Amino acid sequence: MLSLIPVLRSLTYEIDKLASKISQEFKHNPAYEVFSSLPTGEMTAARISGELGSDGNRYPTREYIQTAAGTAPVTRRSGKTIIVFFRWQCNKHLRAALQDLARESIKRCAWASQYFAEQMGMGHRPSRAYRALANWWAAIIWKMLQTRQCFDQSRLARSHAIAC
């Protein structure tokens, strides 16, 4: 056990060095301001930026990002029967990054915390509630990329209050 301590120290040093390098490179991204305004850590914002890129024109609709991320469910209809399935085919790295954003945002954003609590109140499991929140974040990020506006929690809270 004691022989593993130097290996672990070396690994943590390399991880810190890599995180520092990613942070430096992320600051050169044209959409740095947009992604860094999200209520999450810098590494999660950099991961989302890396998966989506900085050109909002790549995504014609918000549904495109939601489908690519796997946060939007698959709905099958036949006659009067409607069945909703989990979306398996997607960009799994983007899904993981958006779900990390969802998990971190409930600690930093009142709207996200309230939405998560509503999902849990409807009887959903935590994984389903996080995926629903990640689906909203995908739509918000799409709008941010289209307008080149940073995330503003007060604007989101106002629009959410109007919708309810």
Q: What are phi and psi of 75, to 5 degrees?
A: -110, 130
Name the domain count of the chain.
1
Q: Which domain holds residue 129?
A: 8-163
Q: Does residue 3 form part of some domain?
A: no
Q: Does residue 2 form part of some domain?
A: no
pTM of the predicted protein model: 0.83
Q: Does residue 35 form part of some domain?
A: yes
Q: Does residue 1 form part of some domain?
A: no
* C-alpha closest to that of 35 among 131, 154, 140, 158: 140
- pLDDT tier at 75 (50, 70, 90 boundaries)? confident
Q: Does residue 45 form part of some domain?
A: yes
Q: Does residue 63 form part of some domain?
A: yes
- pLDDT tier at 163 (50, 70, 90 boundaries)? very low
Q: Does residue 109 form part of some domain?
A: yes
Q: What is the pLDDT of residue 164?
A: 42
- pLDDT tier at 56 (50, 70, 90 boundaries)? confident
Burial status of residue 42 (CB atoms within 10 A of its CB: 0-12, 13-18, 19 or more): middle
Q: What is the pLDDT of residue 78?
A: 86
**pLDDT tens digits, residue range 93-137?**
999 999 999 999 999 998 899 999 999 999 999 999 999 999 999
* C-alpha closest to that of 112 among 139, 138, 130: 130
Residue 154 pLDDT more than 70? yes
Q: Does residue 86 form part of some domain?
A: yes
